[in-house]
C-alpha cells in the first residue's frame, strides 16, 4: 500500500516540474522516518541476556529481540508477555502459565511449552552460566501440560516469582539456537537481529511475523559512543536520535535549551553507593563507617558530580518504589559528629584507598568525597581504574577500602545477604529478614519486611548511601514513546515512533 | 688591526640583543616563580571544593575563574606548575645522570663491544615513541607522579647518551686529550676532567629542550589519567576535566591549555637563545 502511494507520487513527479520533484524528496524523507539510532555509552560483551551480567546486553535485546513469560512495563509493573495469563495455586507454590498462540522464533520455529521448559531448566541447571541464578532458585520442576500450558512448581511460596520471570535473564530461548545467542540472538520479539559491527553498532530490523502488536519502527541501530564529548557532538549533529542514558550531565542544560531536543529526567534503579570493605580494619568498626556516612554531603556530590541530577538516598533502595523508607536523616551531613565518632573509635591518621571506576559519577564524586573526608581527618588515596581492573581488584579481589559504584539492578537489596559479595556484609539478622521476605506473599507483611531490611543496613552503616542515579536522557523532540524511567535495564523500542 | 674592527660583544650585550632568549627566560621565570610561590602561598587552597562557586568566569575574586568543583583555577595552575616542573626536572635529571656517563663511557671504548651494547640498547629505547613508552610504563606500574617521573626519565636517557657520546668522540681526537693519554691519565679521568666540561654547553641546551618535552609528556600522561592522581592538581588532568565542559565554560580548557603552551614556548625560546649564546661560532657570525 505504501509502495503504491510512493509510485503514484513518483509518476506525478516525473511528469511535473522540479518543484514537484522537491516535494518528492521531502516525501521520501518523510517515509524514511521509521529508522531510529539510539546512543549507548557501553557496548555489550555479547547479546545473550541469559549468559551475561552486563547491563548493556539487556539494553539492546530486552523486549526488542527477546521476551520472557512476563515483562516489565515502563512504570515497573509486571505485565503478561509470552504468557497470556496464569493461575496460582491456593498455597502459592504452583504457577500454571497459559502461553500465547502462534508465537514464532525468528528462525521460523514455533515457541511452545517445550521451549519454556528448556529455557527455565537451562537457567537453573548446575552448570548454568546465568548471571542471576537466584531468580530461579525456588523452582523444583517445570512441566509441560500441553503445547500451550506450562506448570512451574516452587519449593515454597515466592511473592516475587512473576517479577523474577520478567527479568532479562529469564527470557525464553529456543534449544536449537540458544548456544549461538551470544553472537546471533534468536528470540520471539518484534525486532530481529540484523548485524553487529563490533566496536560501533548493533542493528535490529522489524520482525514481519511478530505475534503481538506490530511495531512502528523499521530499523533500530544501537550505536556505542563511550566518550562523553563525542556523545555530545553526535547528539548535536543529530547522528543520534536518542541517548537514553546521556553520559555528560553538564551538557543537559544546553541540549534542553535547544528546540530540536528534549531532555527527559527520570529515575533508574541505580543506587549509587560509597561501598566500604566491611571486613577490612578499621572499616569493620561500625563507628568508623558511621563517621564516614556523616562526613558525606550528598547534595554537594549530586550538584558537583551530576550537575543536580539525582535523589539523595539513605539506604539501598529506590525512592520511587512505594516501599522506600527515607532514612537520609539518619546519616545526615555532620562533620563534627563524624570527628566525634572517629575519636570514639580511637582511630586517627586514617588513610583509605578509594578505587574509582570510569563513570563520571564515580570519578567526580570520588574527588568530592575525598575532599569531604579530608575535612574530618580521613585521607584517601585515589586510584582511577578501568572497568576490567575495577572488577578484578575491587569487585572480585576485594582489595579496596572504599569505592563508588551504582547498583542498577531492580530490587537488589538482597545482595547484602551474600557473604562473598564485594563489600562483605552478610549479617545473620539481615539474612533472616531476606529469608522471611522470600517466603512471604502477603503485601502488607512484605512491605514491613522490606522496610526492616532497609532500616537494618542503614543502622549498620554498611555503605555510604549517596544518591539514586537519575536517568538523564536526551532525545530528538519528534521521537515519542521512549521510556522515561528505567525500571529495568532496557531500551524498549516497541512503542517508539516519529511524531511526524 | 682586525681585533679592533671585529668588535667582540660582551655576554650581557648578547643577552639583551637576543629577544627570543629574553621572552623565553621571562616566561620560564614566571612559571618557575609561580611554582615556588605555591609552596608558601596560593590565593585559595587548590584542593578546596566549593560546589556553590563552580564554573565562575575570571573575576577579581578568582583571577582565572573556578572549575566544575568550584576550585580556584589560579591556585590549581600554581600547584600544577610545581607538579609539572618537578616531574620534568627530575626526569631530565635522571636522563643526564644515567645518560651522560653511559655516553662518555661508550665514547671512551669506541668501537668496542661495550660501546655497541650501550648504543644499541639506547637505540632500542629510542625505537619506541616516547609517549607510548611512558604510557606503557605507567600502565604496568600504576599511575602516579613517581611512575611518571620514571617513565619520562627513561626515554631521556638515550637522548643524553647519544649527545654526549657524539660530542665526546670528536673531542677524543684532539691533541690535548692525546697529550693527557700519553701522560698516562686513565680514560675515566680524562672523560671527567677534560671531556665533560667541554660538552656542558651542549647538555644545558639539550636539557632545556628536554625539560619542555618533559612538561608536555607529563601533561599528556595526566591527560590520559596516568600522571599525578587527584586531588593533586595537574595541568593535563585539568584539560581532561574541561573536555565535556568546553561549550559551557571555555576558560576551563583555555587556562591550562595556554599555560602549557606558554611554558613550553618559553622553554624552547630559552633553549634556542642559550644555544646561540653558548656557541662561540654562532656568536661571531651574529656580531
* Per-residue model confidence as pLDDT tens digits over A168-180: 999 999 999 999 9
Distance to chain B for A405, nearest Cα, Å: 18
Nearest to B47 among A300, A304, A371 (CB): A371
Q: What is the mean pLDDT of chain A?
A: 87
- pLDDT for residue A285: 92
Average pLDDT score over residue span A225-229: 87
**H helical segments located in A376-475:** 387-390, 428-439, 443-459
- pLDDT for residue A352: 93
- A111 pLDDT exceeds 70? yes
* Per-residue model confidence as pLDDT tens digits over A416-471: 988 889 999 988 999 999 988 887 878 889 899 999 999 999 999 999 999 998 88
Partner A contacted by B224 (CB < 8 A): no
- pLDDT for residue A404: 95
- pLDDT for residue B99: 92
3-state class (DSSP) for residue A379: strand
* Per-residue model confidence as pLDDT tens digits over B158-190: 999 999 999 998 888 888 888 988 888 888 888
- A147 pLDDT exceeds 80? yes
- Per-residue pLDDT band for B6 (boundaries 50, 70, 90) equals low
* Per-residue model confidence as pLDDT tens digits over B186-216: 888 888 888 898 888 889 889 999 999 999 9
Distance between CA atoms of residues A191 and A496, nearest Å: 12
Determine which of B46, B50, B51 to mutate to test the interface with A (most A C-beta atoms within 10 Å). Answer: B51
Residue B88 near residue B152 (C-beta atoms within 8 A):
yes
Chain B contact set for A389 (CB, 8 A): none
- Per-residue pLDDT band for A32 (boundaries 50, 70, 90) equals low
Chain B contact set for A374 (CB, 8 A): 47, 231
Instruction: Tell me which residues of chain A, numbers 372 to 391, contact chain B at a CB-CB cutoff of 8 Å.
Output: 372, 374, 381-384
Average pLDDT score over residue span B231-254: 87
Q: What is the torsional sign of CA B68, B70, B72, B76?
A: negative
Q: Do B243 and A382 touch (CB under 8 A)?
A: no
Nearest to A303 among B51, B231, B244 (CB): B51
Residue A17 near residue A481 (C-beta atoms within 8 A):
no
Q: What is the torsional sign of CA A290, A295, A300, A304?
A: negative
Cβ atoms < 10 Å from Cβ of B110: 12
Distance to chain B for A401, nearest Cα, Å: 17
Topology, domain A270-469: Dipeptide-binding Protein; domain 3 (3.10.105)
What ranges do the domains of chain A cover? 36-41+190-266+471-498, 66-180, 270-469
Buried b (16+ CB within 10 A) or exposed e, A403-423: bbbbbbbbbbbbbbbeeebbb
Torsion of CA A102, A103, A108, A111, to 10 degrees: -110
Distance between CA atoms of residues B203 and B278, nearest Å: 11
Chain A contact set for B44 (CB, 8 A): none
Query: Is residue A4 within a helix (H) or strand (E), and if so which, with residue range?
Result: helix A2-15
- A244 pLDDT exceeds 60? yes
Using only the alpha carbons of chain A, give its radius of gyration: 25
Q: Give the length of chain A.
A: 500
Share of chain A above pLDDT 70, in %: 94
Buried b (16+ CB within 10 A) or exposed e, A233-267: ebbbeeebbbbbbbbbbbbbeebeeeeebbbbbbb
- pLDDT for residue A76: 82
- pLDDT for residue A27: 42
* Architecture of the A66-180 domain: Alpha-Beta Complex (3.90)
Lowest-pLDDT range of A182-191, A463-472, B2-11, B39-48: B2-11
Distance between CA atoms of residues B240 and B68, nearest Å: 12
- pLDDT for residue B138: 78
- A1 pLDDT exceeds 50? no
Partner B contacted by A232 (CB < 8 A): yes
**Which DSSP state fits A392?**
I
Distance between CA atoms of residues B198 and A131, nearest Å: 70
Bridge partners, A195 (sequence order): A203
Residue A441 near residue A304 (C-beta atoms within 8 A):
no
Closest CA to B24 of B284, B285, B265, B281: B265
Q: Name the closest residue on chain B to residue A229, using Cα atoms.
A: B244
- B286 pLDDT exceeds 60? no
- pLDDT for residue B98: 93
Average pLDDT score over residue span A57-77: 92
The vertex-A476 CA angle with A473 and A479, nearest 5°, equals 100
Distance to chain A for B225, nearest Cα, Å: 7
Same fold for the pair A66-180 and A270-469:
no
- pLDDT for residue A301: 93
- pLDDT for residue B283: 53
Q: Name the closest residue on chain B to residue A384, using Cα atoms.
A: B225
- Per-residue pLDDT band for B285 (boundaries 50, 70, 90) equals very low
* Per-residue model confidence as pLDDT tens digits over A272-323: 999 999 998 889 999 999 999 999 999 999 998 888 899 999 999 999 888 8
- pLDDT for residue B67: 87
Average pLDDT score over residue span A211-230: 91
Cα distance from N-terminal residue to C-terminal residue, chain B = 17
- pLDDT for residue B9: 66
Average pLDDT score over residue span A348-374: 90
**Which DSSP state fits A146?**
E
- pLDDT for residue B8: 64
CATH class given for the domain over A36-41+190-266+471-498: alpha beta
- Per-residue pLDDT band for B282 (boundaries 50, 70, 90) equals low
- pLDDT for residue A467: 94
Cβ atoms < 10 Å from Cβ of B246: 16
**Phi/psi at A483 (nearest 5 deg)?**
-70, 135
Owner of C-alpha cell 566518550: A227
Q: What is the DSSP string of chain B?
A: -HHHHS----HHHHHHH-HHHHHHHHHHHHHHHHHHHHHH--SS-TT---GGGTTPPS-SSSTT-B-TT--BHHHHHHHHHHHHHHHHHHHHHHHHHHHHHHHHHHHHTTTSHHHHHHHHHHHHHHHS-HHHHHHHHHHHH-SSHHHHHHHHHHHHHHHHHHHHHHHHHHHTTSHHHHHHHHTT--HHHHIIIIIHHHHHHHHHHHHHHHHHHHHHHHHHHHHTT-SSPTTS--HHHHHHHHGGGTTT-THHHHHHHHHHHHHHHHHHHHHHHHHHHH-HHHHHHH-
- pLDDT for residue A18: 43
Give the pairing type, strands A261-276 and A464-476.
antiparallel
Chain A / chain B CB contacts < 8 angstroms: 60
Distance to chain A for B35, nearest Cα, Å: 23
- pLDDT for residue A21: 42
Partner A contacted by B243 (CB < 8 A): yes
- pLDDT for residue B144: 79
- Per-residue pLDDT band for A335 (boundaries 50, 70, 90) equals very high
- pLDDT for residue A33: 81
- pLDDT for residue B19: 82
- B3 pLDDT exceeds 50? no
- pLDDT for residue B273: 86
Partner B contacted by A304 (CB < 8 A): yes
Nearest to B231 among A251, A303, A367 (CB): A367
Distance between CA atoms of residues A435 and A43, nearest Å: 36
Question: Is the full-model pTM beyond 0.90?
Answer: no
Owner of C-alpha cell 516497541: A494
Distance between CA atoms of residues A103 and B23, nearest Å: 78
- pLDDT for residue B281: 63
Distance between CA atoms of residues B86 and A264, nearest Å: 46
Residue B42 near residue B34 (C-beta atoms within 8 A):
no
Closest CA to A294 of A329, A326, A343: A329
* Per-residue model confidence as pLDDT tens digits over B116-153: 898 898 888 888 887 787 788 877 887 778 888 888 88
Neighbouring residues of A188: CB distance < 8 A, sequence distance ≥ 6: A66, A67, A82, A103, A104, A105, A106, A111, A172, A211
Average pLDDT score over residue span A347-374: 90
Amino acid at each position: 500500500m505504501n509502495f503504491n502511494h510512493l509510485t503514484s507520487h513518483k509518476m506525478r513527479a516525473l511528469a511535473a516540474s522540479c518543484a514537484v520533484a522537491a516535494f518528492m524528496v521531502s516525501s521520501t524523507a518523510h517515509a524514511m522516518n521509521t529508522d531510529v539510532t539510539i546512543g549507548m555509552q557501553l557496548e555489550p560483551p555479547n547479546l545473550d541476556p541469559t549468559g551475561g551480567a552486563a547491563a548493556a546486553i539487556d539494553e539492546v535485546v530486552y523486549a526488542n529481540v527477546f521476551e520472557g513469560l512476563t515483562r516489565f512495563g515502563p512504570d515497573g509493573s509486571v505485565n503478561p508477555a509470552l504468557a497470556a495469563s496464569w493461575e496460582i495455586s491456593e498455597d502459592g507454590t504452583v504457577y500454571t502459565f497459559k502461553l500465547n498462540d502462534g508465537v514464532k522464533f525468528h528462525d521460523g520455529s514455533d515457541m511452545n511449552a517445550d521451549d519454556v521448559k528448556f529455557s527455565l531448566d537451562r537457567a537453573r541447571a548446575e552448570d548454568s552460566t546465568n548471571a542471576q541464578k537466584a531468580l530461579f532458585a525456588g523452582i523444583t520442576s517445570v512441566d509441560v501440560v500441553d503445547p500451550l500450558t506450562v506448570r512451574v512448581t516452587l519449593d515454597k511460596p515466592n511473592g516475587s516469582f512473576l517479577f523474577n520471570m520478567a527479568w532479562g535473564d529469564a527470557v525464553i530461548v529456543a534449544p536449537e539456537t540458544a548456544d549461538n545467542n551470544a553472537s546471533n540472538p534468536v528470540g520471539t520479539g518484534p525486532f530481529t537481529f540484523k548485524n553487529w559491527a563490533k566496536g560501533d553498532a548493533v542493528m535490529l530490523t522489524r520482525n514481519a511475523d511478530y505475534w503481538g502488536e506490530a511495531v512502528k519502527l523499521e530499523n533500530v541501530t544501537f550505536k556505542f559512543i563511550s566518550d562523553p564529548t563525542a556523545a555530545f557532538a553526535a547528539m548535536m549533529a543529530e547522528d543520534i536520535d536518542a541517548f537514553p542514558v546521556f553520559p555528560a550531565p553538564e551538557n543537559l542544560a544546553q541540549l534542553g535549551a535547544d528546540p530540536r531536543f528534549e531532555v527527559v529526567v527520570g529515575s533508574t534503579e541505580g543506587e549509587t553507593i560509597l561501598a566500604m570493605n566491611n571486613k577490612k580494619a578499621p572499616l569493620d568498626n561500625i563507628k568508623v563507617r558511621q563517621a564516614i556516612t556523616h562526613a558525606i554531603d550528598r547534595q554537594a556530590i549530586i550538584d558537583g558530580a551530576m550537575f543536580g541530577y539525582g535523589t539523595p538516598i539513605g539506604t539501598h533502595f529506590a525512592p520511587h518504589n512505594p516501599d522506600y523508607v527515607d532514612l537520609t536523616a539518619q546519616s545526615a551531613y555532620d562533620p563534627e559528629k563524624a570527628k566525634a565518632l572517629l575519636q570514639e573509635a580511637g582511630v586517627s591518621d586514617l588513610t583509605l584507598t578509594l578505587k574509582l571506576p570510569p563513570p563520571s559519577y564515580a570519578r567526580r564524586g570520588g574527588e568530592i568525597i575525598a575532599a569531604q573526608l579530608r575535612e574530618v581527618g580521613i585521607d584517601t588515596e585515589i586510584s582511577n581504574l578501568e572497568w576490567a581492573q575495577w572488577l578484578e581488584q575491587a569487585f572480585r579481589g576485594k582489595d579496596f577500602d572504599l569505592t563508588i559504584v551504582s547498583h542498577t539492578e531492580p530490587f537488589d537489596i538482597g545482595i547484602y545477604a551474600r557473604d562473598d559479595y564485594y563489600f562483605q556484609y552478610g549479617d545473620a539478622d539481615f539474612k533472616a529478614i531476606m529469608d522471611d521476605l522470600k517466603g512471604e506473599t502477603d503485601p502488607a507483611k512484605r512491605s514491613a519486611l522490606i522496610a526492616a531490611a532497609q532500616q537494618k543496613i542503614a543502622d549498620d552503616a554498611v555503605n555510604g548511601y549517596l544518591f539514586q542515579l537519575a536517568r538523564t536522557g536526551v532525545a530528538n523532540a519528534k521521537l515519542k514513546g521512549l521510556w522515561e524511567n528505567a525500571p529495568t535495564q532496557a531500551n524498549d523500542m516497541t512503542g517508539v515512533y516519529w511524531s511526524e | 688591526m682586525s681585533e679592533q674592527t671585529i668588535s667582540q660583544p660582551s655576554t650581557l650585550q648578547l643577552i639583551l640583543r637576543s629577544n627570543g632568549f629574553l621572552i623565553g627566560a621571562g616566561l620560564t621565570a614566571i612559571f618557575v616563580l609561580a611554582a615556588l610561590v605555591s609552596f608558601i602561598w596560593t590565593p585559595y587552597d587548590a584542593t578546596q571544593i566549593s560546589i556553590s562557586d563552580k564554573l565562575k568566569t575570571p573575576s577579581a575574586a578568582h583571577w582565572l575563574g573556578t572549575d566544575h568543583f568550584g576550585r580556584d583555577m589560579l591556585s590549581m595552575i600554581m600547584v600544577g606548575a610545581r607538579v609539572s616542573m618537578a616531574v620534568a626536572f627530575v626526569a631530565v635529571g635522571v636522563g643526564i645522570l644515567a645518560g651522560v656517563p653511559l655516553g662518555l663511557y661508550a665514547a671512551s671504548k669506541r668501537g668496542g663491544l661495550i660501546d655497541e651494547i650501550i648504543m644499541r640498547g639506547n637505540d632500542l629505547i629510542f625505537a619506541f615513541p616516547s609517549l607510548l613508552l611512558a604510557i606503557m610504563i605507567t600502565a604496568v606500574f600504576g599511575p602516579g607522579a613517581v611512575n611518571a617521573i620514571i617513565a619520562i626519565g627513561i626515554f631521556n636517557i638515550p637522548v643524553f647518551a647519544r649527545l654526549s657520546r657524539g660530542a665526546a668522540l670528536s673531542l677524543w681526537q684532539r691533541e690535548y686529550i692525546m697529550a693527557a693519554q700519553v701522560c698516562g691519565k686513565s680514560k675515566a679521568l680524562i672523560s671527567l676532567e677534560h671531556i665533560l666540561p667541554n660538552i656542558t654547553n651542549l647538555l644545558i641546551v639539550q636539557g632545556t629542550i628536554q625539560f619542555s618535552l618533559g612538561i608536555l609528556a607529563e601533561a599528556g600522561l595526566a591527560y590520559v589519567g596516568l600522571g599525578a592522581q587527584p586531588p593533586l592538581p595537574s595541568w593535563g588532568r585539568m584539560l581532561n576535566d574541561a573536555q565535556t565542559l568546553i561549550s559551557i565554560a571555555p576558560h576551563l580548557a583555555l587556562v591550562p591549555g595556554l599555560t602549557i603552551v606558554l611554558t613550553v614556548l618559553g622553554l624552547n625560546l630559552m633553549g634556542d637563545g642559550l644555544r646561540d649564546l653558548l656557541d662561540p661560532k654562532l656568536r661571531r657570525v651574529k656580531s
